[in-house]
């Protein structure tokens, strides 16, 4: 039975009955931010998020940012704790671990007897650097569908991590510097954690190093790593985000072997298409099977799919007897974020 509760999407999820925005891409007076990846943030007057997300958000939208001010911000407030209940008009809002990156949240809104849950980006597999996902039951679910097709099934994480370590060890043994492309928030820290098993020194580009220091400050135990400079330690592994491919600092690393680390690596030919020597399917998103399991465990009576393969996932859910439809026109997420 479909639950009558209006949910819209317009550069952000919007609950009109509360005038509440979630992951809005334009600055708002009040918005909930599920996590601090660039495709989920803007400069808001007041942002509701966890403390870890608040710290990265401040880094990415602070006074030194090139982003233009959309609205004047209020002084920073401490982030919300998971499970903490916040009253908003006649509703109650709470944040719950999403398993995606440190501080990432599912957003639960209880309003007029209806439980509305926004998944944000989620991951059900165990990770080393993010809080494990908490399953939350709801009536209406908005779920991100990044890998919402059956062909996107990820290999076991320990197998992928071992392959990344082997790639680095083989490169160093050949006198070549391994350069791993991994996003600065979440993926880079997860890769760094697994590289402890290789026992090699690690160098991080500036942005990744700064976010990693926030992880350490929030209590995440990570191996030591140096901030990238003009010279590299002997036998070092370099980790930097994909957008630095071809930039002068990376080009100066010679000789080098490159690897792209993303869930999209399950697609044949990913390394060749991206001009890398290898690609490894380590993702901080849920794969297809995890998305199905997540939706089923939510017990939602109405499901809206969003982003990625929204139409495909909605179709798969309907085949399983779940009332599902895309919330907005499907759009593919930027390749580097998965």
Question: In CATH, what number is assigned to the domain containing residue 202?
Answer: 3.40.50.10890
**Is residue 2 assigned to a domain?**
no
Q: Which residues lie across from 259 on neighbouring strands?
A: 180, 278
121 and 230 share a domain?
no
How many structural domains comprise the chain? Answer: 2
How high is the pLDDT of residue 63? 41
Query: Between 166 and 5, where is the model more confident?
Result: 166
140 and 176 share a domain?
no
111 and 211 share a domain?
no
| Cα angle, residue 107 at apex, residues 113 and 70 outer, rounded to 5° | 115
Q: What gap in Å lies between CA 203 and CA 180, rounded to an integer?
A: 10
Q: What gap in Å lies between CA 191 and CA 265, rounded to an integer?
A: 15
133 and 36 share a domain?
yes
User: In this model, does residue 330 exceed pLDDT 80?
Assistant: no
How far, CA to CA in Å, does 303 sit from each of 116, 146, 227, 295? 10, 15, 44, 8
How high is the pLDDT of residue 308? 93
54 and 97 share a domain?
yes
**Is residue 82 assigned to a domain?**
yes
41 and 102 share a domain?
yes
Question: Buried b vs exposed e over 145-166: b needs ≥16 C-beta within 10 Å?
Answer: bbbbbeebebeebeebbebbbe
**CB contact at 8 A, 93 and 85:** yes
User: In this model, does residue 69 exceed pLDDT 90?
Assistant: no
How high is the pLDDT of residue 230? 80
The total number of residues shown for the chain amounts to: 338
User: In this model, does residue 261 exceed pLDDT 70?
Assistant: yes
Q: Which residues span the domain enclosing 136?
A: 8-151+285-337
Name the pLDDT band for 331 (thresholds 50, 70, 90): very low
94 and 51 share a domain?
yes
117 and 167 share a domain?
no
**CB contact at 8 A, 147 and 131:** no
């Amino acid at each position: 039975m479909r639950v009558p509760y209006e949910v819209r999407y317009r550069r952000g999820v919007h609950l009109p009955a509360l005038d509440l925005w979630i992951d809005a891409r334009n600055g708002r007076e009040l918005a909930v931010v599920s996590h601090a990846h660039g495709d989920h943030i803007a400069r808001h007057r007041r942002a509701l998020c966890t403390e870890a997300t608040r710290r990265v958000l401040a880094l990415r939208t602070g006074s030194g940012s090139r982003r233009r001010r959309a609205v004047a911000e209020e002084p920073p407030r401490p982030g919300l704790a998971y499970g903490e209940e916040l009253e908003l008009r006649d509703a109650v809002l709470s944040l719950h671990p999403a398993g995606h990156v440190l501080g990432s949240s599912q957003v639960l809104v209880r309003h007029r007897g209806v439980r509305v849950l926004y998944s944000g980006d989620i991951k059900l597999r165990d990770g080393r650097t993010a809080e494990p996902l908490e399953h939350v039951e709801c009536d209406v679910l908005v779920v991100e569908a990044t890998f919402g097709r059956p062909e996107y099934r990820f290999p076991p994480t320990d197998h992928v991590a071992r392959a990344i370590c082997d790639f680095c060890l083989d490169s160093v043994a050949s006198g070549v510097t391994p350069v791993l492309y991994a996003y600065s928030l979440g993926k880079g820290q997860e890769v760094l954690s697994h590289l402890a098993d290789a026992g090699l020194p690690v160098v991080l580009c500036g942005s990744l190093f700064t976010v990693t220091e926030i992880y350490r400050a929030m209590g995440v135990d990570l191996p030591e790593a140096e901030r990238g400079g003009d010279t590299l330690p002997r036998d070092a592994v370099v980790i930097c985000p994909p957008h630095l491919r071809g930039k002068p600092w990376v080009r100066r690393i010679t000789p080098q072997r490159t690897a792209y680390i993303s869930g999209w690596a399950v697609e044949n030919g990913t390394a060749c298409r991206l001009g890398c020597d290898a690609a490894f399917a380590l993702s901080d998103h849920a794969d297809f099977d995890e998305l199905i399991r997540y939706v089923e465990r939510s017990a939602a009576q109405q499901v809206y799919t969003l982003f990625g393969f929204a139409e495909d996932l909605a179709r798969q859910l309907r085949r399983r007897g779940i009332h599902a439809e895309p919330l907005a026109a499907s759009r593919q997420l930027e390749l580097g974020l998965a």
